[in-house]
Structures are given as structure tokens and as C-alpha cells.
Structure 1
Amino acid sequence: MAQVDKTKRIGRWYFGGIASAMAACCTHPLDLLKVHLQTQQGGKIGLLQMGVRVVKNNGILGLYNGLSASVCRQLTYSMTRFAIYETVKKQLTKDGGVMPFYQKVGVAAIAGASGGFVGTPADLVNVRMQNDIKLPKEERRNYKHAIDGIYRVVRYEGPTKAFNGATMASSRAVLVTVGQLACYDQLKAMLLTSGFFVDNMNLHLTSSTLAGMIATLLTQPLDVMKTRMMNAPPGTYKSIMSCAVEIGKNGPMGFFKGFVPAFVRLGPHTVLTFLFFEQIRQNMGDDPVS
């Protein structure tokens, strides 16, 4: 039997969504704390203090509030972007070619914009469910789960409300997908050619960690604005610019509020996503590029 070159394996379109959902189950508490930090205006509470407050007020399960929406978001947003990226990548490399970095960035940008739009309803519900425990009891939305949340948004607030913040979500998704998918592929290829790495877990861990750092750096300002816009009552912000002006009242660092938990969350999520992705791809015996 001919030997299979594992370095040329391309994941099937749904692998990324499954891997991202698995990673979300592990990193959800960090994502929740990030949302809490980003939605406080002028607050001084740090990551650990916020974690203690959530557990004290709502118990340990409070850290997993909105988990169903987080998983739903990955099964829409991440599955779409991975599907587009991996499918196009497979077509462009089917004759044994190698995608130059600019092509990876271009494909990742299109995939991210598409995934960000598709995943906006679940993302909106995710932010609301995570932030619900901070609100007074009479103001809480109390969504039972992600599907209930999306249904209630569409029914009582209108279909367009489900895509509130879609522009910001898609813009952020472009940057995070470039940082994650394109940079992961490029870093992985560069490390392989260095001669110090082989295609194993050490390579995947190093590449995904660096990709997570790049993605966090690129996306943090947009992530803060996206979270604010999605969680704000109707009419609070007239535009993205008005949201930016409001955040800017706290100074430039207001755009990087929650940066540490954002990296702590996005870094492990990126690492786990690609470790799961590579493992699923290997175990499923996906066909290598011909």
C-alpha cells in the first residue's frame, strides 16, 4: 500500500465546526468572563475578581451560562468559515500546488465574513445569555437555550434584530479567521520547512498558539465594540462610530478592555480547535490532497 503524506491532508468541510464546538465547551467560562469585562463601563474589576463574583452570585454553573448558544455559534460561524476555507484550499491545491500567503489571507477573509454573518444570531444570543446574570432579575431575558433565544429575538424583536451587529461581527470574523486559519497554515508550513519540526502535536501546538496570539491582537478593538452593540438596548448606538466614541471616552485602552481574558480565551480556544481538528482529521482518515 502506498504511503500517505499526512502533511497534505485537508479537513472535510464540517471538521472545523465540530472541533470549534468541542473547544468552546472547554473555554466557555473564559468567554463569559470576557463578555462581563467588556460590558462594564468604567469598571475596575479584573478577571479573577469577576470570576469570583460570578461564582459567588450564581454558583460554579454560572460560569457556563449560555453554553448552548456558544456551541450553536461555533456550529454556524466556525463551520461556515472552515467549510469555505478548506473547500477552496482543496481546490487550489488539488494538483499538488501550494497556496501563497496572500491567497490564504484572501480566502480566510471571505470565509470569515461569511461565517460572521451566518453566526450573528447565535452570537447575539450568546452575548445576551452570558450577560443576563449581571442584570436585575426583572430585566433578565431568561432564554432557555440558544434556539429559544433566537426564536424569541425573531418573534418579538423582528428578524432584522437577529442580525444586529452583523457588520461588526463579520468584520471581526475576517480578522480572526485571517489570524487563525491563514496564519496557522502559514506558520505550520514555515515551521515544517525549518527542519526543527515534524507534523505532530508539537507542531500543531506551536502553530496554533502563535496563530491565537495574532488573532487576539487583530480583533480586540472590534470585539469590544461588537459586544457592546449586541448587548445594548435598542437605540443606544446609532452607528459603529457612535459606539466607538462612547468607548473612547475612557481613553484608547477602552478598546482593549478585557484584553487579557480575550487572549486567555482565544488562545486556548485556537489551540484546542486545531488540536481537535488535526486529531479528527487523522482519525477520520480524510483523503490527502492528490
Structure 2
Amino acid sequence: MAERRISRWYFWVVASCGAACCTHPLDLLKVHLQTQQAVKMRMMGMAMHVVKNDGALALYSGLSASLCRQMSYSLTRFAIYETVRDMVSRDSKGPLPFHQKVLLGAFGGFTGGFIGTPADMVNVRMQNDVKLPPELRRNYKHALDGLCRVFPGG
């Protein structure tokens, strides 16, 4: 009798959050470079500019929104993919064909992207806030504050 494996898709979410913590400074620099009015600085120049003007911790500005995005996006796509795959595989007594895995992955990714978009928008806003004049800053305290203020009635 074959061993039945139980998917633990929530571990993927923890791994995604860990990766976001490592790559967040690069994401912040990407946003700063993309929102320049004219190309004045490249990657290393922007990194030195951010650290010099706002300190090393400024590289992690908006991290709560980045983690919120990973939790919503990754949780949705992995939960859909792994849960549906396991349900279908259990009924068919075998692995899914490749084309079904692709369709299921596309559906999970599309749904995760849809669910994760508000947190991604708050992430970009939090990362870019420091470049705006004080009267135009949104000053989100954290990701949930940003999400509450983004949604109608918030």
C-alpha cells in the first residue's frame, strides 16, 4: 500500500515570508529606481542614497506590507493548488496529468494575484512615501492601516 502524503502548504507561506525578508531591500530599491522622474541614479547609488539620508533600516520600509502580500498571495495560490491537486489525485488514484497541473497552477496564481494586489499596492506606497513631499505622504503606520485606508469606507 502506497504511503499517503499530506500537503502542508502553509510551510510554503512561511518560506515565502522568509524570502521576502531577505529580498525586501532589493524590492525597495527597485521601486525607488522605477519612480525616479529622470534616471539620476543606478542601483548602488540609490542604495547609498537611501542609507545616507534615512539610515540602514530604511531599506526595510514597508516590510509589513511585503509580508502581508506574501501571506495573502502565497497562502491563496499554494492552498488552492495543493488542496485541489490532492482532492483530484485521491479520486483518480494517481498523479495529475501535466496539462491539469498547469491549469491548476494558473488558476491558483491568478486567484492569488487578485487577492494579493491590495497588499502589493500598499507595499509600493509605503516604500515610495519617503520620496514624496510631507503634505502628499500617506504615512501608513503598517500594512493593515494601509489596507483599511485603501478599501472604501476605511
Q: TM-score range by the shorter chain?
A: 0.7 to 0.9
Q: How many residues align?
A: 153
Could you say which residue in structure 1 is the equivalent of 2:133?
Answer: 136
What is the TM-score when the length of structure 2 is the normalising length?
A: 0.87
The residue aligned with 1:146 is 143
Matched ranges for 1:196-207 at <5 A? none
The residue identity in structure 1 corresponding to 2:106 is A
Are 1:84 and 2:76 an aligned pair?
A: no
Mapping for residues 63-74 of structure 1, pairs under 5 Å: 63-74=59-70
* Structure 1 ranges of 4+ moved more than 4 A: none
1:250-269 equivalences under 5 Å are none
Q: How is 1:1-290 mapped onto 2 (pairs within 5 angstroms)?
A: 9=5, 11-94=7-90, 95-154=92-151, 158=152
Instruction: Give me the CA root mean square deviation.
Output: 2.3
- Report the Cα distance in structure 2 between the residues aligned to 1:44 and 1:108, rounded to whole angstroms: 40
C-alpha distance in 2 between matches for 1:138 and 1:147:
22
Structure 2: tracts of 5 or more residues without a match:
none
Residue-by-residue CA offset, 1:270-289 (whole Å, 9 max, x unaligned): xxxxxxxxxxxxxxxxxxxx
Tell me which moved more, 132-141 or 63-72.
132-141
Measured at CA, do residues 23 and 9 of structure 1 come closer, stay the same or move farther in structure 2, by a change above 3 Å?
farther
Deviations 1:127-162 (A, max 9, x none): 1001111212222111110011111222xxx36xx9
Q: Please give the per-residue CA displacement for 1:208-233, whole angstroms capped at 9, x wherever unaligned.
A: xxxxxxxxxxxxxxxxxxxxxxxxxx
Give the structure-1-normalised TM-score.
0.48
Structure 1: where are the runs of 5+ without partners?
A: 163-290
